[in-house]
Amino acid sequence: MKFLDQAKIYLRSGDGGDGVVAFRREKYIEFGGPDGGNGGKGGDIVFVAEHNLNTLIDFRYTQHFRAAKGGNGSGSDRTGAGASDVVIKVPVGTQILADDQETLLADLATAGKRVTLLRGGDGGFGNAHFKSSTNRAPRHAIKGFPGQEMWVWLRLKLIADAGLVGLPNAGKSTFLSVVSAARPKIADYPFTTLHPQLGVIRLSASEEFVLADIPGLIEGAHEGAGLGDRFLGHVERCAVLLHLVDGAAGDVVRAWRTVRGEMEAYGGGLADKPEIIGLNKADAMTPREASARLSALRKVSGRPVYLLSGATGQGVPEVLRVLQDTVHEARRDRAEREHAA
């Protein structure tokens, strides 16, 4: 299935049904009086987060959603039927933005969450509504109230506990394939990963987390170079980032600074997230090269740096344990905040 994480769609909720003018005309009712019913409510536009969806590809082919108008009222003081709501199913993690692509209207971050984005118009009043002691035969009714309409952007941000970042060919896809059941494309040329991949890492029966691999970043990605930085949105929700640096490429400090610079330029709080640095491809370096590059990375980043090899598995369990502990701590803090609220 083709991956699509952004789509623009048109929405219109239903108009309310019209009220009607009617009078009772039964043979044995001497003074019949008004009995025109009210109109029914128009349909709402409702979004629901579904856990079994993982792309917005359906919205490439269906871009207009209109709810039906409510039924008109009728005689015998009968209210028109309310129109059915239009329920739009989207993947968990979908954000709904206004046409300016900046104003956040809704964030469907949990499975089953429902948001009524546009409310249908109310039905108009029939003439029975206006009956009073001084106006016993009103001859007017109100038309239904109009629905609402707007263009919105849907943007998918995958729900993952940890995110993989790095330059192209840093070994991110290989790492993901080794530690999980995910099978991303792996090749010896840049940008083999064209869209985000998710993998579930299980360290034990009670310890697991979701790892997201996004396409590699290059210098100038925030200005559109390479695949740009649009996929960085998929790691905005992550509790921790695993930054893989290709140790066999030579200048590891420049590689680390390039990706850090792109994350800072992107914003979204990425530069403030906990960062685990992994010097990858230990199998392609001599012990002397590995030691020198570890020291250089530790000095420039001010953080611990882990030597590992996705191809051979060297150092991978240690990195996974650090990731799991960081994710567990973030989950505990989130639960405490929710409990306090």
Query: Which residues are known binding-site members for Mg(2+)?
Result: 173, 193
Yes or no: say if 41 and 122 are a contact pair by the CB < 8 Å rule. yes
DSSP 34: B
| Both structure tokens of 157 | 């941000």
Cα 83 to Cα 298: distance, rounded to the nearest angstrom: 63
The DSSP bridge pattern shows strands 114-118 and 149-156 to be unpaired
Angle separating helix axes 252-266 and 287-301, nearest 10 degrees: 30
Binding-site residue set for GTP: 166-173, 191-195, 213-216, 280-283, 309-311
Q: How many other C-beta atoms are found inside a 10 Å radius of the C-beta of residue 340?
A: 6
Collapsing DSSP states into helix, strand and coil, what is residue 175? helix
Cα 64 to Cα 131: distance, rounded to the nearest angstrom: 41
Q: How many other C-beta atoms are found inside a 10 Å radius of the C-beta of residue 108?
A: 22
Give how far Cα 170 sits from Cα of 159, 178, 181, 305, Å. 23, 14, 20, 15
Binding-site residue set: 166-173, 191-195, 213-216, 280-283, 309-311
Q: Of 319, 250, 331, 241, nearest to 289 (Cα)?
A: 250
CA 193 to chain centre: 20
Cα 87 to Cα 89: distance, rounded to the nearest angstrom: 6
Cα 240 to Cα 276: distance, rounded to the nearest angstrom: 7
Q: Which residues contact 316 (CB under 8 A, 6 or more apart)?
A: 175, 178, 179, 308, 309, 310
- Euclidean distance between the first and the last CA atom of the chain, given in angstroms as a whole number: 40
DSSP 78: B
Cα 97 to Cα 118: distance, rounded to the nearest angstrom: 13
Amino acid type, 246: D
Helix (H) or strand (E) holding 96: strand 94-97
